[in-house]
Amino acid sequence: MKLKKIGIINSGGDCPGLNTVIDTIVTSLEADYKVLGFYKGFEGLLAKEYLELNSDFTNFFRFQGGTFLKTVNKGNFASKVGSGQIRQIPEEILSKTAKNYHDLGLEGLIVLGGDGTMEIVYQLQRYNLNIIGVPKSMDNDLPGTDFTFGFHTAVEIATEALDRLETVGQSHDRIMILEVMGRWAGWVSLFSGLAGGANIILIPEIDFSWNSITNFLEKRLSLGKKNTLIIAAEGSKLSGGEISSKSLGSKASESSLGGVGDQISQYLNGITHFEARSTNLGHIIRGGSPGSFDRLLSMPLGVHASKLMRARKFGNMVTYEQGKFSQLPIEECVGKLKLVEKTNFHVETGRALGVCFGD
């Protein structure tokens, strides 16, 4: 019997759990489908660069970090330009990608990605591509699902970093600042800040002021608390200010997000009785093997995506809400981000415990 052909694509930034989902899908479907894995996201479909996958091969990568299919978040399919904003991908790119899909005789695609990836999927659907989405985002900013895979591993790494910085701060009576990823959404900073006992948690959704931070630090000093632990998402900014960025060196016309930790450190070191040091975890929180929670999340996400493929329920993204796996139309997951609200239970928990959010 001739097997139907389907494709797997992962797109956007890397994060722990990608290989776990891919392996689960291949293992679940290989008896009835020939599974093609496309290299470097949609670029692989555009260039017809792929390999045929089987579980003997994918099992080897099951719990490795990153993705053996490689990935890109720029190039022909860069659709994400801001907080929930969409860039229209050129018509010739979309039509050629769709032609390759049909020429290869694909029954459908399972696409792993975040908000930018789902925006690409949304634009491709009008070319009669059968697509199922699987939510991936280290930032946990995709609407419609409680958690995305990759997020909890990032939180675990940042929490461990805070635990280590706390002992340094205690030893030297210093203010220790940890900067983590999170341009628009502060979920990583919020969750790891609470879990790691941070005294000040800064997130993009709540602007901070110098007065709020220094008044909080002065109060701690008056209580004999000379060390303070601060965590800041890279997108945190002063009220009325702009997000910090830094030059990429020789690429003078380009810049990357980051630097708010150094900004806070420089300001506080300008005050005589404060001594602050800043550490930026950067890409460390998105590297390495997935933690146990992300493994246990990734596998059923892959299984549910496989069920949707068998049932031909295309145009949906797998969701995880209140302990249950379901699905949601992809169009309901694009053009917006899941941000931390000021009334979020975890924010309220932090405030009840005396955490300063800089406002």
Using a CB cutoff of 8 Å and minimum separation of 24, what contacts does 162-167 make?
Answer: 162/192, 162/193, 162/195, 162/196, 162/197, 162/198, 162/229, 162/231, 163/196, 163/197, 165/229, 165/279, 166/196, 166/197, 166/227, 166/229
The radius of gyration of the chain from alpha carbons, rounded to an integer in Å, stands at 22
- Rounded Cα gap, residues 62 and 296, in angstroms: 12
Total length of the chain: 359
CB-based contact 275:269 (threshold 8 Å): yes
| Helix 292-310 with 18-29: angle, nearest 10 deg | 40
Residue 127: both structure tokens together: 């070319």
Spatial CB neighbours of 56, under 8 Å, sequence gap ≥ 6: none
Which residue is it, tokens 């635990």?
Answer: 163
What is the DSSP code string of 308-324? HHHTT-TTEEEEEETTE
Out of 23, 115, 139, 141, pick the active-site residue.
139
Question: In sequence order, which residues have a C-beta less than 8 Å from that of residue 85 and are 6 or more positions away?
Answer: 335
User: Which phi and psi (to 5°) does residue 332 adopt?
Assistant: -80, -5
Q: Can you read off the two tokens belonging to residue 44? A: 């692989």
Residue-by-residue DSSP string for 232-270: EETT--BTT----EEEETTEEEEEEE--HHHHHHHHHHT
* Annotation says 139 is catalytic: yes
| DSSP string computed for 200-235 | EEE-TTS-B-HHHHHHHHHHHHHTT---EEEEEETT
Cβ atoms of residues 77 and 93 within 8 Å: yes
Structure tokens, 262: 């150094």
Which sequence positions are flagged as catalytic? 139
